[in-house]
Structures are given as structure tokens and as C-alpha cells.
Structure 1
Amino acid sequence: MINFKIILNVLGYLLVALSILLIVPIIIDLISGNESWKSFLISLIITLGFGVTFLLSTRNELKNKILTQDAFLITTLSWIFISIFGALPFFFLDSSLSLTNSIFESMSGITTTGSTIFNEVENLPQGILIWRSILQWVGGVGIIVMAVSILPVLQVGGMQVFRTESSDTTDKILPRTTQVASAVIIIYIILTVTCLIAYWVGGMNLFDAIVHSMTTIATGGFSSKNDSFASFNNVSLEYISIIFMILSSLPILVYLEITREGLKKALADTQIITFLSIILLSSVLVIFYLWIQNIKDVEEAVRLGAFNVISIITGTGYTSDNYNSWGPFPIYLLFFGMFIGGCAGSTTCGIKVFRFQILFETLKIQIQKLLHPHGVFIPHYNRKKIQEEVTSSVMSFFFIFILSFIIITLLLSMTDLDFVTSLSAAATSLANVGPGLGTMIGPENSFSDISDYAKWILIFSMLLGRLEILTVLVIFHPSFWKK
């Protein structure tokens, strides 16, 4: 039977942690003299109040075990609660900002999608800009930390919850989940600080460097500039961003392997090699097209082509040029690139590379069986046999992902959005990318002009994509609520 008290207990801890994070934008706004610190203070009081209430009412639940049903509910409700309470500063900031827009911005942040309802982000107080970045930074590593750190604090194991977001099989590099959590956090902070320094040295002011380092490592894409990286007009910053977008799309624990065993084992990981090959090939194709069609000169084709291709495939969502004007081929490639994502175990979303590898390996085996009916063929991934349940899980994911994409597109089309907008909005929300295609939600536009009905569809779609769809849908199955 589902233990709602232990679920409230976990949510209480998360809300208290969220209220502590709200102190950061309060301090920044007080220093910069912005009145928006009041909206953060009100949000802090409300969030802390709910968090403490949840904890006090469930203080005797700490030693209870979390069952599978509890784990699914905790995973889904955590993202919902954080997005709701994370929306409070936006809601209290401006009376004209609706609850729908506030939750949309918050959900986009915590799911590291990067779509925004703000047309002029440069007019926003620094506290709001830093809060958007904090939401993405926390969201980028949220599931991993919750699985291997928060739940062990409650005296339960966390690896099974980690698999609710990433259904691939993961080697236990460290013997205890608490150690893994510590390693993840340390690596995440090191990457963020390194990125911050690189941006600062590259030409950003300190505030912009802080904002963009957090959203880069989270592969989130929120920016403090209206035109994202195009606003900086700085070649060095674009190349720096390319490097860190790639680094953030690799399995985060691969850096631990590198410190222990060097680059050899990491470079032997077929997922990493496949991912790097995909972004290299995609970038080369777009670069060649931009150059051969005389759309850009050689240097611009290399820089802008690589930047935007890598940004879309990794789900970061930064833009350095209006790719809507590049012609049909780059647009088609970027559209399909939205679905790829990075490596499993990173902060990226999308389908993820390992699933494509398993799918193609399975298809290869099926073709071999057709050619040699009496042969025995065993699929492998990273030189290990692929278990039947893993193959089944991947196939199920592909089916439900495509079905969800079709349904979301159809629902959006019912809101009078044109075909390109409906299609790209469904793709960018489900794959948690950020910008879409077309003149309404393209790289130079926001999501402010779409209807509230469409925004709620996209809010749910962003949640589905971040939690790998099945994690959310399973709670709607009748048998889930049975003893």
C-alpha cells in the first residue's frame, strides 16, 4: 500500500531545500537594489511553511521503507511540487504574469527545457535571472541526487529510483549510493565552476558567466540575454560553450572513471563514441550546406553550424543565429536532432544515444535471423549481452515516445497553432530542448503568444519528457493504486 506519509516527508525535505535556495536571489536583488526581493521573500515564507508542515506531520516516518509505488510517486510529485513552488517568485513578481505563465517558466526551468514566456529577459531583475538559472542547475542533476542522496538519508536504497529516469543498466562504480551522490555533486560543481571561469575569461561579465555556466552544465539553455549567445557577438564564448555543452552531455560518472583509470576506458564506451560521432557528422553536414549554399562564409559556417547543431542535439537550446533562415536541410536536421539527446547518466533529455544503439543492435540481430534462420545471435551493448528485459524496455520507450509525440502534436493543433509550430512545440517540449521552429516559437521568439491551453499541454509534455514518460504514465494505471 502506498505510504503517503513518507512521500510527504520527502517532499518536505525538498521544499525546505528549495526555500534555502530562494535566499540567493533575495541577496542579489538587495545588493542590486531591485524591489523584486519581496517576491522571493514571500515565496520563501510560503515554501518553507509547507516544507516544515510536511516534515512535522511525518517526523516519525523516517525509518519506513519506500516501496516501488512510493518511489514512482515521489519521483513524479517532486518535480510537480518544485515546479509549482518554484513558480511563486514569477507569480509574485508581476501582477500581470498569470499562474499559467509562472508555472510554465518554472517547469521549463526545472526540467531543463529552456522555453520561456519572457520576451525581454534583459529587462528582468537579476534575482529572477539567477532564479531561472538555479532552477535549471538543480533540475539538471535533480533526479540523480534524489535517487542516490536524498532517499539514502531516509535510510532506504536509491538505485531503483535512479532507474526510473534512466532505464539503462548502470554499473555501480562506487559501492554505496551515498558515495555516488557525493561524487555526482562534486563533479557537477567542478564542471560548473570551470565553465564559469572559462566564460568570465572569455569575455562575459561575472553575472552573465554565473548564469550561463549553470544553464550550460545543466544543458538547460536559459540566458540572461534576449538573443541568447548571439547577443555577446563573441567568437571565443561560442567555442567555449560548444566544449562545455559536449562535456555536460557525457555520463557524469565517466569523469570519475577518468580520474581512476584514465581516458582509455571512457573512450572505449560505445555510447560516448556514438554520441561524438553523431554530433560531428551532423555538424559537418550543416557546415558544408551553409558554406556550399553561400549562406555563411567558412568561419561562420563552422562556428554557427557546430554551435547550433550541438546545442539542439544536446537539448541545451542556446542559439547564436536565426537558423530559420538557413534553408530546409538544416531545419530538418535540427528537428530530428531534437529527439537524440546526449548520453544516459548526463543532464540531457531526449531519447538518449544508448537507446538508439540498442534499437539498431536488435534490428541487426533480426536481419541476421532472417538470413540465417537456424543461427544463434546474441545482441551486445558495450561488449555485454543485452538482457531481454532491457530490449523490451527500450522498444516500449520508443513506442510510447512516438505515440506521445503524435498525441501532443494533435492536441496542440486543436489550439489553432499552425502545423510547424504544433510539430516543433511537441518535439522541443517532449525532448526538453527549448526553442522551436517557425515564426512563433523559433530561436528569436518566446512562447508568450500561445494560448494557456497550449501552455498546459506543453507543461505536461515537459514533465513527461524529463521523467522518461513511463515514470509519469505508470501512476495512471489502475493496478498502480492496488495493494
Structure 2
Amino acid sequence: MPRNNDLNIILGDLKSLFSIAAVLMSAMVVSSLLFWELRSAAGFIAGMLVSLIIAAAIHSITPRSEALELKHAIIIAALAYLLIPAVSAIPYMISTGMSPVDAYFESISGWTSSGFTMLPAPDSIGHSMQLWRSVTQWIGAVGVILLMVTVLIRPGTSAYILYQSEARKERIRPSIRSTVRTIWKVYLALTIISFFILLLAGMPAWDALNVSMTAIGGGFTLYSDSIGHYDSLPIEIVLLPVMIAGAIPFAVLFMMFKLKLHTMIYDIQVRTFAGLIATGCLLLVAQNYFYFYNDLFSATRYSVFQLVSAITSTGLQTTDISGWSPTALLIMSIAMIIGGCAGSTSGGIKVAREIFLVNQIKLWLKKTLLSKKAVIVIRLGQHKVVEKTITEELNEATLISFLWILNILVSIMLLANILGPEVSLSNLIFEVCSAQGNCGLTTGIINPAISPLAKLIFIADMWMGRLEIVPVILLLRTVFRGFGR
């Protein structure tokens, strides 16, 4: 177990997170009353009170401490994505009558920006609950810890440590607080732009408001058939750049807003990401043309949208993909595993890590073929990187990739036994990759009718995928062995 001082540090910041959750739900109480949705208002009041009681209880037993270290921040992040969804699930239970497991699934799907749903008809739950789903995804996509760094006054070092805990490294501004504020400004600007272009494409205003909050990296929509509900090519076309923008590093987006468009061209992550999208689209269009649609327009329309949705971890869907060939689903699964760029809202292993893995192969080939006395330098875009730097980054990339694949395999084995032989292996692999990649695309396996145990496994996948697994391991080690051993 953690020592008392360590526990006090962790509880101190968890108290702050519960307070923030209470503030968010208090705003939703106002929304519920404006829409005259009294049952929803009762749910938000209950969730707000539980959050405040927990925060007050922690405050009464925990002295104030500022000695935050990275180990504490990682534990805080791991617990935040378990506990905040728990109190956020209360409105779902009271307003919609969902079971605790289903409500928790819906809540954690929002906060981890995954986009799966346990609601058979999201359009029937009332405006305030629809808005709550969108708000949790909008905040969850950019990070609940990032929100805490923004609103709390913390010393610079503590702010940076918390910032790191959500697997972030990039600095857009000299200080972390200014970097975080810039990220929120870029994110808000992107959301507003998305809202207006969706209106221009013909989407109703309320729908556009919610989708603009979730299309950047979430996947929740107001309908069970997602974007397919509109059957609108203009809407699908304008959503493509929105989804892609959400998977581009905030630092690059910030420079683009400053009209420094060359930044995107020279950024190796963005260039690689564009190449992956183009390659994936070509492969998927060809596969679906020959083995499913037999119509080039339909194959292109549905394949491109679904592939972009997969690799950006957005999870918006325009068609039923359960009948696609195993090869098509495998292409999509690989896209969800890779994910978008580091420093963006997307999930997956991230393009940056894949670049380092590929460059390690180049490094190995050069070391094998060249003289032992040769000084080996690897180019990453416009920059030359020495072997030591490549090795350090490679260690992280290899570890994350290994843990990712291991967890996918374990989840597939467990779920194959739970769900039974009637579920095809290709569909199951797809579903697990979608959950761990925080994507939300589905072949239909994830639905309210599956067993609670299967739902819990998918919840664990979403949680670990959002945290990139290592914080989960550290949390479990701390619970069983403490910090000091």
C-alpha cells in the first residue's frame, strides 16, 4: 500500500478532480432545468452531491501537500479515469434507468473518448443527457488531467508533472500553463469551426453542436446508427477534415492557425500520418470493391470515411461493417492500433512511436552493413538524431507496443470464451482493437445485451488504452507493494 505522505498527495489532487466534476454537473443541472427535464436534473444533483461529499471527506482527512512527483501524477491519472466516470455515471442511472454496469460503461466511454454506447436509442434520452455525453467526450478527448492543470493554481513543476501523466511531452509555449491554455484555445477554435461547417453541410443545429464536440476525437452521436443516420454525403465530406484535424498534433494546429502552413508539410509525424491514411484508404477501397460492394462509388464513400474514423480514433460510423470481409476488418484494426499523431486527441500506439520503430530497423541495418567505426546518424524529417536518442525513444515505443499487443491478445482470449463461438474471430479482434484504441467503431458485438463480464473487460480495455497501460501497471504495483519497494 502507498505510504501516508504519498497517499495524501494523491488524495489531494483527486479531491480537486471530484470538485471539478461537481462543478460540471452543477452546470448540467441548469441545462436540465432550462429544458425542463426534471428527472435528468435530479440525476445531476445526485452526482454533484456525491462528488462534493467525496471531495469534502478527502479534504477533512488529508493535509495539503505540494510535493508532487511523477509517480504520484501517474497514479492520479490512472485513478481519475476510473473514479470520475463512476460519479459521472449517476445521472445515467437516475435519468435513463440504466444498470450500474451499463451507466459506468457509458460514462467511461465518454471520458476516455471511446464512443461506444449502451443506449439503444440515444435520441430518446433528452437534451440535457445528450449534452452531458458530448461534454464528457469533449473534455475526455483532450484530457481530464489537462483540465485540472488549467483550472488549478499549481507550481510550474507540479503542473508539468501532471501534464506528463497523460502521456504528453510537447510544449507549445515556454511554460506548461500557457501551453495548456493554448491547447484549449486551439481545441475550442476547432470545435467552433466544426459546428459552422456542419451547419453549412445541412446538419440540424442541435445535432451540429453535439457532433462538433465529439467529431474531433470522441464518436458519440445522437443516434444509434451514428452519422449513417443522416445518409448525407456533404456531412460525411466535411467531417473528414474535422476527424483528421483531431489526430494532428496541437502544436502543428497552433502554427497553422498562425498561418504558418509549412509547419504541417515539414512535420514528419503529419507526413507519415498522411501516407498511412492514403495507403489505408487505397487498400480498403480495393478490398471492399472486390469483396463487398462491387460498386466503386460505394466502396470509396464508405471505406474512406470508416478508415479515417479508425486511424483518427474518432469512431463515427456511416455504415454497418459487420459484413465486411476479415481482411477489410484487419486493415481497420491495424489502423486503430496505429492511431493518430502524438500530441493530439487520438488514441492508439501513435505515429511517432511507429516512426521510431521503423528507424530502429534502419539503424540495425546500418550497424550491420557499415564499419564498426562509422558514426551512425538517423534523419527524422529535417533533423538528424544520434543513436542514443533513437535508443531512448525506441525503448518507450517497444514497451508500449508490446504491452498493447499483449493486452489485445489477453482480451481476445477472455472474450472469445465469454461470448462464445457465435462471435467471429475477425469481428472480435476488431472490437477489442477499437476499445483499446479508444475509437468506438463497432461490428455490433458491443451492445446492451452482452454479459456484464464482457462489458467489464471492454471497460478495462478503454481505460488502459486511454492511459497507455503503463500507469495501470504502476497503480496495481502500488496497491499491492507500495511506492517504496
TM-score by length of 1: 0.91
AA in 2 matched with 1:54: I
Match of 2:316 in 1: 318
Trace 1:180-219 onto structure 2 (pairs within 5 A).
180-217=179-216, 219=217
2:30, 2:347 → 1: CA distance? 32
Partner residue, 2:45: 41
Question: How far 1:239 moved relative to its partner?
Answer: 0.8
1:475 corresponding residue in structure 2: 475
Query: How many angstroms does 1:427 deviate by?
Result: 1.4
Out of 252, 255, 258, the position equivalent to 2:256 is 258
Q: Does 1:5 align with 2:20?
A: no
How far apart are residue 185 of structure 1 and its match? Answer: 1.0
Equivalent residues of 2:419, 2:454 under 8 A apart: no
Equivalence for 1:164: 165
AA aligned to 2:230 is F
- Among the aligned pairs, what percent are the same residue? 26
1:107–1:463 contact (8 Å) kept in structure 2 = yes
| Counterpart mapping for 1:34-433 below 5 A | 34=37, 35-55=39-59, 57-58=61-62, 61=64, 64-95=66-97, 97-142=98-143, 145-146=146-147, 148-149=149-150, 153=154, 156-166=157-167, 170=170, 172-217=171-216, 219-260=217-258, 262-291=260-289, 295=293, 297-372=295-370, 374=372, 375-382=374-381, 383-385=383-385, 386-417=389-420, 418=423, 419-433=425-439
Question: Offset at 1:201?
Answer: 2.2
Aligned residues: 471
CA gap 1:12/1:147 in 2 versus in 1, 3 angstroms: closer
Distance 1:185 1:296 in 2: 44
Q: Is the 8 A contact 1:133 1:222 kept in 2?
A: yes
Mapped contact 1:344–1:354 kept (Cα < 8 A)? yes
Question: Where do 5+ consecutive residues of structure 1 fail to align?
Answer: none
The residue type paired with residue 256 of structure 2 is I
CA distance in 2, matches of 1:416, 1:344: 34
SS at match of 1:481: coil
- Matched to 1:433, the amino acid is C
The answer on whether the counterparts of 1:165 and 1:471 sit within 8 Å (CA) in structure 2 is no
* TM-score (ref. length: structure 2): 0.90
Q: Is the 8 A contact 2:17 2:148 kept in 1?
A: no
Q: 1:141: Cα distance to partner?
A: 1.1
Distance change in 2, residues 1:187/1:85 (3 Å): same
Measured after TM superposition, the shift of residue 6 of structure 1 is 2.7
Letter in 2 for 1:469: I
Match of 2:337, SS state, is coil
Give distance in 2, aligned partners of 1:373 and 1:75.
Answer: 46
Deviates more, 1:410-419 or 1:192-201: 410-419
RMSD: 2.3
Aligned CA distance change for structure 1 residues 215 and 298 (closer, same or farther; 3 Å): same
- Check conservation: 2:40, 2:128, Cα contact below 8 A: yes
> CA distance change for structure 1 residues 84 and 432 in 2, over 3 Å: closer, same or farther?
same
> Is residue 25–residue 126 contact of structure 1 (8 Å, CA) maintained in 2?
no
**1:376-427 deviations in Å (ceiling 9; x for gaps):** 4234434242343221111111111111111111122231343345423321
> What are the Cα deviations for residues 72-102 of structure 1, in whole angstroms up to 9, with x where unaligned?
211111111111111111122244x221111
Give the direction of change, closer, same or farther, for the CA distance of 1:327–1:69 in structure 2 (3 Å limit).
closer
Cα displacement string for residues 84-128 of structure 1 (whole angstroms, at most 9, x for unaligned residues): 111111122244x22111111111110011111112222222222
Per the alignment, do residues 379 and 17 of structure 1 end up closer, same or farther by CA in structure 2, a change over 3 Å counting?
same
**Shift in CA distance, 328/79, structure 1 to aligned 2, threshold 3 Å:** closer
Change (3 A) 1:296 1:27: farther
Task: Indicate how the Cα distance of structure 1 residues 225 and 158 shifts in structure 2: closer, same or farther if over 3 A, else same.
Answer: same
Q: Which moved more, 1:260-269 or 1:125-134?
A: 260-269
Structure 1 contact 69–480 (Cα < 8 Å) conserved: no
Secondary structure of the equivalent of 2:116? Answer: coil
Stretch of structure 1 that moved more, 339-348 or 378-387: 378-387
Query: CA distance change for structure 1 residues 384 and 20 in 2, over 3 Å: closer, same or farther?
Result: farther
3-state secondary structure, aligned to 2:317: coil
C-alpha distance in 2, partners of 1:303/1:416? 32
Residue 480 of structure 1 deviates from its aligned partner by 5.1
Distance change >3 Å, CA 328–CA 261, structure 1 → 2:
same
- In structure 1, how many angstroms separate the alpha carbons of the residues matched to 2:448 and 2:416? 17
- Distance of 1:294 and 1:328 partners within structure 2: 11
Q: Distance in 2 between matches of 1:309 and 1:325?
A: 16
Q: Is the 8 A contact 2:156 2:176 kept in 1?
A: no
Ranges in structure 2 where 5+ consecutive residues have no aligned partner? none
Indicate how the Cα distance of structure 1 residues 468 and 118 shifts in structure 2: closer, same or farther if over 3 A, else same. Answer: same
In the TM superposition, what is the alpha-carbon distance from 1:344 to its structure 2 partner?
Answer: 0.4
* 8 Å Cα contact 1:111/1:136 also seen in 2: yes
Match of 1:31 in 2: 34
Decide whether aligned partners of structure 1 residues 285 and 422 sit closer, same or farther in structure 2, where only a CA change above 3 A counts. closer
**Distance change (3 Å), C-alpha of 1:328 and 1:76:** closer
Cα gap change, 1:23/1:240 in structure 2, threshold over 3 Å: closer, same or farther?
farther
The residue that corresponds to 1:450 in the other structure is: 450
Does the C-alpha gap of structure 1 residues 410 and 298 become closer, same or farther in structure 2, counting only changes over 3 Å? closer
The CA deviation at 1:243 is: 1.0
Distance in 1 (alpha carbons) for counterparts of 2:342 and 2:148: 15
**In structure 1, what is the Cα distance between the partners aligned to 2:100 and 2:29?**
21
What CA distance in whole angstroms lies between the structure 2 residues aligned with 1:24 and 1:316?
A: 26
How far off its partner does 1:5 sit? Answer: 2.2
Of the structure 1 ranges 110-119 and 144-153, higher mean CA displacement relative to structure 2 is found in 144-153
Residue type of the partner of 1:89?
A: P
Q: Distance in 2 between matches of 1:298 and 1:413?
A: 35
